[in-house]
């Protein structure tokens, strides 16, 4: 896991002062690291009845789509406002740096559907908790929220009480 951690580049003060930005592009562009990370994130969900992976725009797509492919299941896109063409339902959320709104197609999940949510980084947890609320409102069963990396000092997990959370790599800042 140390080798994977080393593949993530830290960019201080991006996009604003005080943020330690975890740049995952350096891990993604290394074939062995990307494959290993996806294998480890996907493997835990083999044959557990998960029906789809929900990827959060944009880096969550890079994790979520590859996991879904590996698991032989579908991928559902949660996108920034205004990007999805059909009727949507929305969630407002607060980022480590700013506010935003995410949307999902209103018919993307069925009541009772078992899904795993995937994103690159768990920071404050604002994004993913908004997505979990949205999915639950639509009747989905969120089996787990799965991240490549977690910034543990930001305590995002505390926003996800009662929710199973997995992160492959942990950073203190
Ligand atoms: P949060 O809602 O604070 O958990 O933020 C999570 C989302 O913002 C994820 O989709 C990340 O891609 C991005 N993000 C937030 N903070 C960082 C960070 N320090 N480094 C990299 N990505 C981040």
DSSP line for 48-63: S---EEEEETTHHHHH
CATH level 3 topology of 2-171:
Rossmann fold (3.40.50)
Mutating to test ligand 1, I would choose from 127, 154, 173 the residue with most ligand atoms within 8 A of its C-beta, which is 127
* pLDDT tens figures, 92-103: 887 766 788 999
Q: Which atom of ligand 1 is nearest to the CA of 59?
A: 12
Q: Which residues are catalytic?
A: 59, 96
pTM exceeding the 0.85 threshold for the entire prediction = yes
Closest CA to 135 of 41, 44, 52: 52
Strand ranges, E, within the chain: 9-12, 20-23, 52-56, 74-80, 88-95, 98-105, 114-122, 141-151, 165-171
* pLDDT tens figures, 107-166: 999 999 999 999 999 999 999 999 999 999 999 999 999 999 999 999 999 999 999 999
Q: Which two tokens stand for residue 113?
A: 């559907």
* Residue bearing the CA closest to ligand 1, atom 13: 121
The answer to whether the Cα torsion of 30, 96, 130, 150 is positive or negative is: positive
* Cα–Cα distance measured from residue 53 to residue 93, given in angstroms and rounded to the nearest whole number: 20
What is the average pLDDT value for the chain, to the nearest integer?
A: 96
What is the residue extent of each domain of the chain?
2-171
The answer to whether the Cα torsion of 47, 151, 35, 140 is positive or negative is: positive
Max Cα-Cα span within the chain: 44
């Amino acid at each position: 896991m140390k080798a994977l951690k080393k593949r993530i580049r830290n960019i201080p003060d991006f996009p604003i002062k005080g943020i330690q930005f975890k740049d995952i592009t350096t891990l993604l562009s290394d074939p062995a690291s990307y494959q290993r990370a996806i294998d480890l994130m996907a493997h835990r969900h083999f044959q557990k009845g998960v029906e789809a992976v929900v990827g959060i725009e944009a880096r969550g797509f890079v994790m979520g789509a590859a996991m879904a492919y590996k698991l032989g299941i579908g991928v559902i896109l949660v996108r920034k406002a205004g990007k999805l063409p059909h009727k949507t339902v929305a969630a407002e959320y607060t980022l480590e740096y700013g506010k935003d709104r995410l949307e999902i197609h209103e018919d993307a999940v069925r009541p009772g559907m078992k899904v795993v949510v995937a994103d690159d980084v768990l920071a404050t947890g604002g994004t993913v908790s908004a997505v979990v609320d949205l999915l639950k409102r639509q009747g989905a069963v969120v089996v787990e929220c799965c991240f490549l990396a977690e910034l543990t000092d930001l305590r995002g997990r505390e926003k996800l009480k009662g929710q199973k959370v997995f992160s492959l790599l942990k950073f203190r800042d």
